[in-house]
Structure 1
Amino acid sequence: MGTVVSVIVGADAAHGDAAVAATAAVFARWEARCSLFDPRSELSRVGRGELALVDASAEVRDAYALALHWRDATDGAFTPHRGDGLIDLNGVVKALAVEEAGEALDRAGFAGWAIGAGGDVLVAATPAGPDGGGLPIGIVDPADRSTLLSRIDIDPPRRRAVATSGSVERGDHIWTLPGSGPSPFGQVSVAAAELVAADVLATAIVAGGRPSLDDLADRHDIDVLAVMRDGGLLATPGWPRRASGADA
């Protein structure tokens, strides 16, 4: 998927290695199915016309159906189809892999964990952090990678998903709606109960601009922090206001 996956668990080194192995196995399977970085993957073969989509595995077909559902739910602001016609499922697959890895850690008996993958973060019942609270999720300032714009504290036994989309890590790679011009947002973070929704809606808001932010925040149970290209901030009322001990 062209990114780094991080795992945090409240366990000793041996159990930590087991958590990493369980997570790696999940991502390896999804890579083999849907990675466009791997020419041997099913989706790469579909893109080259070597494998018909109807003959692909159920996981690939289900991921594509899920992406089409979200395309319709966002009025096309999110789409699994690239401009060259290639099917790109990374907008849902990365989040699916994180969620499945979390389920694997649950089954393995880990009471608290956090998984991050390329802007997608899922935290569950985390152990106490250094300040006695739950492990926080930080939102990095796109203009200064050493600074946090905001942080979300997750206290056990809550589970929370946060996804961030934008041009900081990979440049301008999100396709905006036809005729809308460049996105006014350099970065959008969405907090939700479920990671696929957070990831899709963060991407859709970047792609659709302010109209999509207003519409999607109104129709979905999410909190949003959007960074304008000029550095200004827009936040929904429920977004946490603390940023490195100050108001954001």
Structure 2
Amino acid sequence: MVSRRSWVEQIMGLPVSVLARGELADSAQADAAVRAVFAELVEADRLFSPFKPGSAVSLLARGEVGWDDVDPVVRAVAERCDRARDLTCGRFDPEVPGGGWDPSGLVKGWAVERAGKRLREVSELDWCLNAGGDVLVLCPSKRPFTIGIQDPGDPGRVVATVARADGAVATSGTAARGAHLYDPRTGEPVLSRWLSVSVSGPSLEYADVLATAAFVAGEEWPAVLDALPGYEGLGILANGNLLATPGWPAAGSAAG
């Protein structure tokens, strides 16, 4: 029987879990890597949370520091946000209407992907890192994990699955936080008959950005994924119907 072990902590206001599979799943090496992942995500939350008064995001918003005063990693994320804004033709934008800077639409995917490097250092370990439904996986065994796509109208129900042995799946929509997204180009709330858009691809950072931009795009969401090669999507309508782009990966028979 293949060994499995799981860990979970509450970080960024979300459950963050790691599922490890393989001979090293119960090893001290795997445990240390997971603890390092959690520590990196806690540090990212300390720097970037708009809800923490001492974060760089909050200090910038209050004008207590300037860009020259923040940690270099904050400036690096700002540059990544600028590239994401250009990539999505403005459908993703960290600039908040009325003033302020909030990179939340990019930071979670970026932070999870960066922290996942710790797990990559444990050779021959299959792992699935899940941060509130945004998922990064790597399976040296080539046996994929099967990732469930949540029903936006019923969080306890899975409406589709996708198999991945490497790469990421991110979802943007109304299930977790209600109608909270706005179109950066107009500053107006997003009104769409789509309840969620999930994006699968090689990078969680860009899957997250593209999922947000696709949801903002509404009826045009499949075209947004053409901005980068290797990304496919699944949209869920309010009536429960699904629409997948042609390359959306099929579910496998091997569950994680």
Structure 2: unaligned runs, 5 residues or longer? 1-11
Which range moves more in the overlay, 232-241 or 47-56?
Answer: 232-241
CA 1:91–1:149: 2 relative to 1, 3 Å? same
> Among 191, 194, 209, which residue is 1:182 paired with?
191
Percent identity for Structure 1 against Structure 2: 38
Residues 1:89 and 2:99 aligned together = no
* 3-state SS of 2:38 partner: helix
Looking at structure 2, the residues matched to 223 and 149 of structure 1 have their Cα atoms a distance apart, in angstroms, of 17
> Among 231, 235, 242, which residue is 2:244 paired with?
235
**Structure 1 runs of 4+ with >3 Å offset:** 13-17, 240-244
* 3-state SS of 2:47 partner: helix
Which range moves more in the overlay, 49-58 or 160-169?
Answer: 49-58
Residues 1:3 and 2:14 aligned together = yes
Looking at structure 2, the residues matched to 107 and 15 of structure 1 have their Cα atoms a distance apart, in angstroms, of 9
Which range moves more in the overlay, 95-104 or 178-187?
Answer: 178-187
Displacement of 1:144: 2.3
Residue by residue, what CA displacement relative to the aligned partner does 1:29-74 show, whole Å, maximum 9, x if unpaired? 2112111121111111111111112321111011111111111111
> Among 204, 210, 215, which residue is 1:206 paired with?
215
Structure 1: unaligned runs, 5 residues or longer? none
* 3-state SS of 2:116 partner: helix
Q: Do the aligned residues in 2 keep the contact of 1:114 with 1:126 (CA within 8 Å)?
A: no
Displacement of 1:124: 0.3
Which range moves more in the overlay, 87-96 or 173-182?
Answer: 173-182
Residue by residue, what CA displacement relative to the aligned partner does 1:109-157 show, whole Å, maximum 9, x if unpaired? 46221111123100001668xxxx42211111112223222111224xx
Q: Do the aligned residues in 2 keep the contact of 1:150 with 1:243 (CA within 8 Å)?
A: no
- Return the TM-score normalized by structure 1: 0.86
Q: Do the aligned residues in 1 keep the contact of 2:173 with 2:195 (CA within 8 Å)?
A: yes
- 2:208 alignment partner AA: D
Which range moves more in the overlay, 43-52 or 175-184?
Answer: 175-184
Residues 1:168 and 2:178 aligned together = no
Looking at structure 1, the residues matched to 73 and 155 of structure 2 have their Cα atoms a distance apart, in angstroms, of 36
Displacement of 1:181: 5.3
- 1:75 alignment partner AA: C
- 2:15 alignment partner AA: V
> Among 149, 156, 179, which residue is 2:159 paired with?
149
- Return the TM-score normalized by structure 2: 0.84
Q: Do the aligned residues in 2 keep the contact of 1:119 with 1:165 (CA within 8 Å)?
A: no
Looking at structure 2, the residues matched to 196 and 181 of structure 1 have their Cα atoms a distance apart, in angstroms, of 22
Looking at structure 2, the residues matched to 241 and 28 of structure 1 have their Cα atoms a distance apart, in angstroms, of 34
> Among 108, 117, 120, which residue is 2:134 paired with?
120
RMSD: 2.3
Which range moves more in the overlay, 36-45 or 233-242?
Answer: 233-242
CA 1:12–1:70: 2 relative to 1, 3 Å? same
- 1:112 alignment partner AA: D
Report the structure, 1 or 2, having the larger strand content.
Answer: 2
Q: How many residues align?
A: 237
Looking at structure 1, the residues matched to 182 and 235 of structure 2 have their Cα atoms a distance apart, in angstroms, of 17
Which range moves more in the overlay, 39-48 or 146-155?
Answer: 146-155
Report what 2:8 is aligned to: none
